[in-house]
Amino acid sequence: MNLTHLKFFIAVAEHGSTTKAAEALHITQPAVTRGIRQLEDELKVELFERLPRAMRLTRFGEGYLRHAQAVFVQLENARDEMRHLADNPVEEVVIGAGPTWLMGNLPAIVGELTRNYPNVSVRVRGGYDQQLLAMLNRGEVAFILTETSDVKLSAELDQEPLIHCDYVVACRHDHPLVARKKVPLNDLLRFPWAMPDQAVNALERLEGIYLAESLRAPSPRIRSTSLSFILKLLSTSDALAFVVRSSLGEIAPDRIATVDLDRPMPIRHAGIVKRKAAWESPVVTDLIEMLRADCKKNPVQ
C-alpha cells in the first residue's frame, strides 16, 4: 500500500475536492486524481462519489478513512517511541483534561510526576468532552480525562471509568430558590441560565430532563468558554447553571449554592480515554497508575 496515496485520500476527504487537496499538498491536481484512482483499483471499491464540483465519500470511503487516519497516528506513535528510545534529554507528556480534573487532584498528581521524573515536561490541555475527543483522534495527546459512558465511543478508543460526580443546578448563595425545598423544574424557568459554551453533554442532559417531563428546556442566555466566568457570574446575578458539583470549588464556596430539586439529578462518570493502539511511554504509564490510585481513594469528585 502506497502511503502517498493514503495522504491523497485523506486530503480529498478533508477538503472535498481533488483541486483543493492538491493545493493543500502543493502538488498537481492530476497527480491526486491518479493516486485516488490507483487506490480504488487496488481496493476494488469506489471511495468517492464524483459530483460536478466536489468529491463525497461513499460508505466504503467513510469506513476506509478511519483506517487511513489510524495509519498516520500509528506512524506518529512510532516516531514518538523512537524519540524516547533515543534517550532524548527531555520528554514531553501531553494530556487533555476537563474542568472536573483541572480543578481536582490532577495538578497535585502532575506535580508529583515531575518530581519523580526531573527530565520530563508535562503539558495539560484543557477542554470539554467533544474538544478533548477531537484532540485524541488527531493524535495530539497521549490520553484524555473526560466523561465515560456505557456506549462505545469507537472501535479505536478504550475508556476506563475512574470517578463519578453528580450534576447540580448552581446559583448564588442568597438566590431566591435556595431557601426553598423540593423545587419543581418549571420554577427554574423563571430565571436566566448561563452555561459553559462547549459543555455539550451537560446541556443535552439538562434538555433531556425537561423533555422527559414534556416541559420546554431552558435556553442559556449567557455562554462563555470560561467556567470561572460562569461561576463568578452566578455569584453576582440571578442566573442558574447546570454543572457537576466538583466544579463549584473554582470560587469561594460561601458564594455559590445549589438548588434543592424535587427529583434526583444525573450522575456523570469520568475517567481515562485513550487510543487502543497508541504506544505508551513509561512516564505515561506511571501517570495513569497515579491517577488510578488517587481515584480509588477519591471515587466521588
Sequence ranges of the domains in the chain: 3-80, 86-163+269-297, 165-267
Across 68-72, 79-83, 129-133, the highest mean pLDDT is recorded for 129-133
Q: Tell me: the pLDDT tens digits for 139-163? A: 899 999 999 987 666 778 899 999 9
Q: In terms of C-beta distances under 8 Å and separation of at least 24 residues, what long-range contacts does 288-297 make, across chains too?
A: 288/143, 290/109, 290/112, 290/113, 291/106, 291/109, 291/145, 291/162, 292/162, 294/105, 294/109, 295/162, 295/163, 295/271
Give the per-residue pLDDT at 139: 85
Across 9-13, 69-73, 74-78, the highest mean pLDDT is recorded for 9-13
Confidence of residue 253 (pLDDT cuts 50, 70, 90): low
Percent of the chain residues topping a pLDDT of 70: 94
Mean pLDDT of 7-23: 91
CA distance 298 to 252: 21
Decide whether 3-80 matches 86-163+269-297 in CATH topology: no
- Whole-number average pLDDT of the chain: 89
Residue 89 pLDDT exceeds 60? no
Nearest of 146, 167, 173, 166 to residue 157 by alpha carbon: 146
DSSP 3-state assignment of 224? strand
Give the per-residue pLDDT at 84: 61
**pTM for the full predicted model:** 0.65
Give the per-residue pLDDT at 216: 92
Give the per-residue pLDDT at 227: 85
Nearest of 278, 277, 292 to residue 142 by alpha carbon: 278
CATH pick for 86-163+269-297 out of 3.90.1170.50, 3.40.50.620, 3.40.50.150, 3.40.190.10: 3.40.190.10
DSSP 3-state assignment of 176? coil
Helices (H), 86-128: 99-102, 106-116
Give the per-residue pLDDT at 1: 66
Query: What amino acid is encoded at 46 in this protein?
Result: E
Residue 88 pLDDT exceeds 60? no
Lowest mean pLDDT, pick from 35-49, 87-101, 109-123, 255-269? 87-101
Q: What dotted CATH number matches 3-80?
A: 1.10.10.10
Q: What dotted CATH number matches 165-267?
A: 3.40.190.10
Across 14-23, 46-55, 178-187, 248-257, the highest mean pLDDT is recorded for 178-187
Can you spell out the DSSP letters for 253-266?
GGGEEE--BSSPPP
- Contact 240/234 with Cβ under 8 angstroms? yes
